[in-house]
Amino acid sequence: MKRSIQKIGHPTFIVIFFLVGLLILFLPFVRTDEVPFLLLFLGRLHPLVLHFPIVLIILCLLLEATRFFHILRPGEGIVTLLLIAAALSTLTSIGAGFFLFASGDYAGDLIEGHFWAGAITGSLLFATLGFYFLYRRLERYYGLYLGALLLTSVSVGYASHLGGSVTHGKDYLTEHLTLLLNEESPVENKDESEMLVYDDMIVPILESKCYSCHNDQKAKGDFKMTSYQKLFKMGESGKPSISPGVPEESELLTRINLPDDHKDHMPPAGKTPLNPDEEALLTYWITTGAEEFQEVQPLRTADIGPVVERLLPALARYRRSARLTDIKDKVLHQELSELADKLFVIIERDSMSDDNLFAMAMKFPPAPFGNDQFILLKPYYEVFSKLSLTSSGIDDEGLYYVGKMTNLRSLFLQKTKLDGSGLVYLQGLSQLEVLNLSFTNVDDKALIDLLEIPNLREVYLYRTNTTKAVIDAIGRNRPHLKLLVEEGPYF
């Protein structure tokens, strides 16, 4: 074993370690259009192998920490084996990640960042391996080895954070720090003897499953659920949402119990429905009078007791989630308000969106707003569902940035410097439905690029360089897409 380690520690191998680490850094620059199916299959193994090197790298750092603080003296053979295994498995993970990236199934800034972080981690790890064997030959290199190992551990942590963000969202690792760092108490912990059925059980359920469509900004069916009083008002159906003591006449329960494929079923398709326990509690509450100040504790001895028992942990999660969302919303609103003042634009909640998305529009008279201003918007690209840049200074190059606003549904670009050459950047906006290009130099050729936007249904082309013949031809072949020679809306 010792002879094998000495052989691996030969100067030639040390140079190879550093060269491999350097070569890994070039991987993010490599682009390929054709990848064999076998390599695409190997790319799918990336999630399976990536955890192995992470554990090994952290274990190496822990062993060196015990050595540095004179707690333990780990055997050199163990550290050598761990580092070599970590390097080889990291190389395998990066290779699989490269083929996964090359497949084209994953793209975007987050993926690019994760790929770069993985490449940097691999490069640092092979540098660590090189410094380790240098240290084995000359002890003065121990500091370089330890520093490289520490940097590798930091890098693997960041790469893991980005990987988790790709799967679970950008703030997957850090979102609960918002609660920990907030000055206010993050979640109110009530004693069960103080809990009320409506405030502490019904509200969290409705907030989790219903508020996104029935709130003060957006009330589908003209029905709001954000207070006890509003819950008893009639919506467009003309029927009482809740009839205390008469569940069969309560429109809320009727809608919940409709077949899943019924157009009036609540919540609608794509939303998380109430589970059986939540529905049972809501029905029981209405049946017993739907009182605002009914206490929870007596329910524990009633028929509904087992349901309450099962629901309490879930309701605590709902309250924590709602509190976290509330804090994040306040922070986001404050940041966007400051940004709006800086850019001299209007940024406000999009009342037509189910999600916490925003609309941005130019003030009148419009302040100078060109392509450069998009740099300030970059951290918030995904929070905009409506964008009005009427009379702004953007041109077709600016559409590159607009194309990164993946939640856009309405885009108003009239009276800008567009000639249509940048409309190709909008093809990735899968949710875009309305586009206004009136008073621009967009021509017939540019209209062809618009056909690749999957859900586009209305385009306004008043005073553009398009021709009636091409507009009519597209209309015949794409009846769902309306090309309107009208001035159209501005917001």
Nearest of 137, 133, 142 to residue 16 by alpha carbon: 133
pLDDT at 33 over 70: no
- Give the whole-angstrom CA distance, residue 212 versus residue 317: 18
pLDDT at 200 over 60: yes
pLDDT in tens, 122-136: 999 999 999 999 998
User: Region 196-220: what's the mean pLDDT?
Assistant: 80
pLDDT in tens, 439-457: 999 999 999 889 999 999 9
User: Based on the number of CB atoms within 10 Å of its own CB, is 34 exposed (0-12), middle (13-18) or buried (19 or more)?
Assistant: exposed
- Specify the CATH number of the domain 344-484: 3.80.10.10
Average predicted confidence (pLDDT) for the chain: 85
Q: Which two tokens stand for residue 101?
A: 């990236």
**pLDDT at 346 (0 to 100):** 94
User: Region 244-253: what's the mean pLDDT?
Assistant: 90
**pLDDT at 405 (0 to 100):** 93
pLDDT at 185 over 50: no
Tell which phi-psi region holds residue 201, choosing left (phi > 0), alpha (psi between -120 and 50) or beta. alpha
Q: Which two tokens stand for residue 265?
A: 């079923």
Find the Cα–Cα–Cα–Cα dihedral 291, 295, 299, 301, rounded to 10°.
-140
**pLDDT at 392 (0 to 100):** 93
Find the Cα–Cα–Cα–Cα dihedral 171, 325, 221, 273, rounded to 10°.
70
Map tokens 């912990």 to a residue: 189
- Give the whole-angstrom CA distance, residue 212 versus residue 210: 6
Least confident of 105-109, 339-343, 418-422, 461-465: 105-109
pLDDT in tens, 399-427: 999 999 999 999 999 999 999 999 999 99
Per DSSP, helices labelled H in 103-190 are: 109-137, 142-168, 175-181
In the Cβ-directed half-sphere of 427, how many Cα atoms lie within 13 Å?
A: 13
pLDDT at 216 over 70: no
In one-letter notation, the amino acid at residue 108 is G
**What does the buried/exposed string (b/e) look like for 197-229 if buried means 16 or more CB atoms within 10 Å of the residue's CB?**
bbbbbbbbbbbbbbbbbbbeebbbbebbbbebe
Instruction: Give 38-45 contacts, CB < 8 A, sequence gap 24+.
Output: 39/99, 39/102, 40/99, 40/102, 40/103, 42/95, 42/96, 42/99, 43/96, 43/97, 43/98, 43/99, 43/100, 43/101, 43/102, 43/103, 44/96, 44/100, 45/96
pLDDT at 316 over 90: no
In one-letter notation, the amino acid at residue 31 is R
**pLDDT at 483 (0 to 100):** 94
Pairing mode, strands 345-349 and 358-362: antiparallel
How far does the chain reach from its first CA to its final CA, in angstroms? Answer: 73
Cα separations in angstroms, 491 against 77, 347, 359, 414, 454 = 68, 12, 9, 11, 22
